[in-house]
Structure 1
C-alpha cells in the first residue's frame, strides 16, 4: 500500500458546543458565526495543500466546516460511519455533572475498559468503532488518494484515532479535541503515526495576522 497523509479535523463551533449541550448523531446542528470563522481560518491556512479527496460525516456541521475546500471543486464523499456517537436520551441535555450525572458515569465506565456498554438509548464506543471500519478499509484501498481531509466529530474522532493507531478504546480520552482542531497523520503502508496532535495554531496564527 502507498503512503498517505491524513488531515483529520473536528467540526467548527455550534451553539450546542457554546452552551455545553450534548449533540450526537441525532442532532444535525449547523455552525454558528464562530464556527464559520474557524472554518474560514482553517481553509486560509491549508488551502494550498493538494488534497485528493474530502471526506465528511453526513451531518451538516462537518460539511460546513470544509465548505471552502468543497467550493474549490475537490471530490467529496459523505460517510455515515464518520457520524458522531449517538448519545441516546442524553442528546440535547446540558453536559454538566450536576445536571447529568449519568453521562459522566458512562464516560467513566468506558475509561474502565467497558466499551461495549451503550449509553441509554444510544451507542457504545465498540459500535462506533465497528461502523468506522468499513470507512477505514475504503480509505486504505485507494492508493491514488495520497492526501485526504476528513472532518468529523469529537467522540467519534477519538474512536477513529484509536482504530487507526491501534489503541484500546478505553484510552480514547487521551486524544483531546477542540473545535476545528487538527490531527495530522502519516501512513507508511503499514502503520499510522501522529505528526500534529489537537493542533489549533492555524486559528491562532490567522487571528494574529488580522491584528492592527
Structure 2
C-alpha cells in the first residue's frame, strides 16, 4: 500500500484553555482569537500538502482549527471516537486547590497503570482507547488515502499516540502537546513511526 502519511494536530487555543477550565468531550467550546490565529498559521504552512481527507472530532474547536482546509473543499469526516476524554462532573469547572488532590491522584494512578479508573461520571483512558480503535481501523484500512489530516484533543491525542506506537496507556504523558501542535507519522501497513514530534514551528511565524 506504500506509506500513509498522517498529520495529527491538537485544536487551537480556547478561552477555557487560558482560564484553566476543564473542557473534555462535554464542553463544545470555540476557538478564541489566538486560536484562530494559530489555525491560520498552520493552514499557511501546510496548505500545499495534498491531503486526501480531513478527520476531526465532532466538537467545533477541531472544525474551526482546520477550517482553511475544509474551505478548499477537502473531504471531511467527523468521528465521536476522536472526541476528548470525558472528565465527567469536572467539565466546565476550574481545577481548584480543594479538588486538586482528587484530580492529580487519578492522573498518578493512570501513570501507575490503573488506566481503567476515571473521575466521577467521566471516562477512563481504557474507554477512550476502545472508542478510538474503530476510527484507527477505518483510517488505516483506506489504502487509497495516502495523506490525511487528523485534528483532535490533548488527552485523547495522548491515548491515540500510545495506541499507534504500541506504548502502554500508562506512558501517555510522554506525549506532550500544545494548542495547534503537530505530530507527523508514517504508517507502512504494519507499523507507525514518528517523523515529527511536537512541532510548533508554524506558530512562531510573525503575522
Deviation at 1:100, TM superposition (A): 2.8
SS of aligned partner of 1:156 = helix
Give TM-score, length-normalised by structure 2.
0.97
Unaligned runs of 5+ residues in structure 1 are: none
With the length of structure 1 as denominator, give the TM-score of the two structures: 0.95
Q: Which runs of 4+ in 1 moved over 4 A?
A: 96-99
- What's the counterpart of residue 38 of structure 1? 38
Matched ranges for 1:172-183 at <5 A: 172-183=172-183
Q: Distance in 2 between matches of 1:37 and 1:134?
A: 32
1:2 deviates by 3.5
Q: Quote the residue 1:171 is aligned against.
A: 171
In 2, the alpha carbon distance for the partners of 1:136 and 1:21 equals 29
Match of 1:59 in 2: 59
Distance 1:42 1:109, change over 3 A: same
Between the aligned partners of 2:140 and 2:186, the Cα distance in structure 1 is: 12
The aligned length equals 207
Task: Please tell me whether the aligned partners of residues 53 and 149 of structure 1 are also in contact (alpha carbons under 8 angstroms).
Answer: yes
Q: CA RMSD in A?
A: 1.0
Does residue 10 in structure 1 map to residue 22 in structure 2? Answer: no
CA offset digits 1:63-115 (Å, max 9, x no partner): 10000000000000000000000000111122355553211111101001000
Note if contact 1:90-1:103 (Cα within 8 Å) is conserved in structure 2: no
Is the 1:88–1:123 contact (alpha carbons within 8 Å) kept by the matching residues of 2? yes
8 Å CA contact 1:97, 1:104 repeated in 2: no
Identify the residue that residue 161 of structure 2 maps to in structure 1.
161
CA distance in 2, matches of 1:8, 1:98: 35
